[in-house]
Amino acid sequence: MAAYHDAGFTTWDLADHYGPAEDLIGAFRRQIAAEGGPGGTDAMQALTKWVPHPGPMTRAVVERAIDLSRSRMGVDRLDLLQFHWWDYGDRRYLDALRHLADLKSDGKIRQLGLTNFDTARLEAIIEHGIPIVSNQVQYSLLDQRPAARMAALCRARGISLLTYGTLLGGLLSEAYLDRPEPSRSELTTVSLQKYKTMIDAWGDWALFQKLLTALARMARRHGVGIANIGTRMILDRQAVAGVIVGARLGIAEHIVENARSFTLALDAEDEAGLAPVLAKARDLLRVIGDCGDEYR
């Protein structure tokens, strides 16, 4: 974590249910403070999520969850609380969000965001006067559902998109170029298995290889890697404020490689180079539904 922090990757995405993630952030903050003095943590941001079980969303229930995250992370105020709700039919998510907005006013939350809400629900939440600054959604060259409806609403309302799955858990890289289709047992992480399923919904392995080939050609032209192209293309999309890149700390780290995405500039020729491949893919908005519908 310190290596990433020192290289300028100072924002961490986590959740209350990501194992000990919040505790690790708390320990890391204490380490930075001890080494750099009271201001040593000023550059650091930790964006956590609250994913409650269905049930009554009273002020006490909501505040207890937020206080637990604050305690585990060692902060008086959460930088960004990203709220997720499983069942739109249970409209108590609006109760939870109202209480979260009150806790923001009370100083326990700096900013309030969402995770995997669709466009219709995001608009309804905004209309209820709840101050949302972001929505975390899946967004990649394969999964461009946010561009269909979500991005325009976010731009109009001053809301940012934080994207995950942009590199398909590592499948969008040279490591899988010119490789035969992997079996499920060869995909050694849950993330790889998940995004292989997304490839199957989008098209097939042969079409994915054509996409990787086009990306590799583009990457050589710019002197970067396939992952840099995939990252930069989504960073350049409307309303996107940041791409969340997974890192298996101590196992697979790409600090230097990821940093190249910040200096990379793409042009119309690059977009045009991918168009023939992307035109052959299925429309995931029709296959899956709007952003986050794969979880409901």
Q: What is the pLDDT of residue 242?
A: 97
Check whether 40 has a pLDDT greater than 80.
no
Query: Which conformational region is residue 157 in: left (phi greater than 0), alpha (psi within -120 to 50 degrees), or beta?
Result: alpha
Average pLDDT rounded to a whole number, residues 230-243: 97
Distances (CA, A) of 182 to 166, 168, 194, 222: 20, 14, 13, 29
**Among residues 246, 242, 212, 207, which one has the least CA distance to residue 226?**
212
Q: Are 113 and 100 in contact (CB under 8 A)?
A: no
Q: What is the pLDDT of residue 38?
A: 64
Q: How does DSSP classify residue 114?
A: E
- Distance CA(42)–CA(30), nearest Å, equals 12
Q: What is the per-residue pLDDT across 260-289, written as a single tens digit (0 to 9) for each?
A: 999 999 999 999 999 999 999 999 999 999
Q: The whole model's pTM is what?
A: 0.95
Whole-number mean pLDDT of the chain? 95
b/e 187-214 (16+ beta carbons within 10 angstroms → b): beeebbebbbebbeebbeeebbbbbbeb
Q: What is the per-residue pLDDT across 180-223, written as a single tens digit (0 to 9) for each?
A: 999 999 998 899 999 999 999 999 999 999 999 999 999 999 99
Q: Are 222 and 229 in contact (CB under 8 A)?
A: yes
Average pLDDT rounded to a whole number, residues 108-125: 98
- Per DSSP, the three-state class of 151 is helix
- Distance CA(147)–CA(13), nearest Å, equals 22
